[in-house]
Amino acid sequence: MSRYKLTVEYDGARYVGWQRQDNGPSIQQALEEAIHGFSGETVLVQGAGRTDSGVHALAQVAHVDIEGPFRPDTVRDAINFHIKPAPISVLQAEEVRDGFNARFDARERAYVYRIFNRRVPPALERGRCWWVIAALDVHAMNEAAQVLIGKHDFTSFRAVKCQAKSPVKTLDVLQVTQDGPLIEVRVRARSFLHHQVRNLVGALKLVGEGKWSKAQLENALAACDRTAGGPTAPAGGLFLTEVVYNDRHGTQSEPDADA
Tens-place pLDDT, residues 109-127: 999 999 999 999 999 999 9
Kindly report, residue by residue over 28-62, the tens digit of the pLDDT. 999 999 999 999 999 999 999 999 999 999 999 99
Q: Is the pLDDT of residue 249 over 50?
A: no
User: Taking each helix axis from N to C terminus, what angle separates 214-223 and 196-208, rounded to the nearest 10 degrees?
Assistant: 150
Q: Is the pLDDT of residue 252 over 80?
A: no
From 2.40.50.140, 3.30.750.24, 3.30.70.580, 1.20.1600.10, which CATH number describes the 2-105 domain? 3.30.70.580
* φ/ψ of residue 233, rounded to 5: -65, 150
pLDDT of the residue at 250 = 41
CA distance 36 to 51: 23
CA distance 224 to 191: 19
Of 247, 258, 224, residue with least CA distance to 96: 247
pTM for the model: 0.93
Q: Where are the domains of the chain?
A: 2-105, 108-242
The answer to whether residue 52 is catalytic is yes
Say whether 108-242 and 2-105 share the same fold.
yes
pLDDT of the residue at 253 = 46
CA distance 194 to 84: 30
> What's the average model confidence in pLDDT over 151-164?
95
pLDDT of the residue at 256 = 60
Q: What value does the mean pLDDT of the chain take? A: 94
> What's the average model confidence in pLDDT over 97-102?
94
> What's the average model confidence in pLDDT over 135-162?
97
Q: How many residues does the chain have?
A: 259
The domain 108-242: what is its CATH number?
A: 3.30.70.660
What are the residue ranges of helices labelled H in 53-112? 72-83
> What's the average model confidence in pLDDT over 213-224?
97
Would you place residue 171 in the very low, low, confident or very high pLDDT band (cuts 50, 70, 90)? Answer: very high
Percent of the chain predicted with pLDDT > 90: 92
> What's the average model confidence in pLDDT over 224-236?
96
> What's the average model confidence in pLDDT over 241-258?
65
Would you place residue 153 in the very low, low, confident or very high pLDDT band (cuts 50, 70, 90)? Answer: very high
Residue of 11, 22, 52, 172 marked catalytic: 52
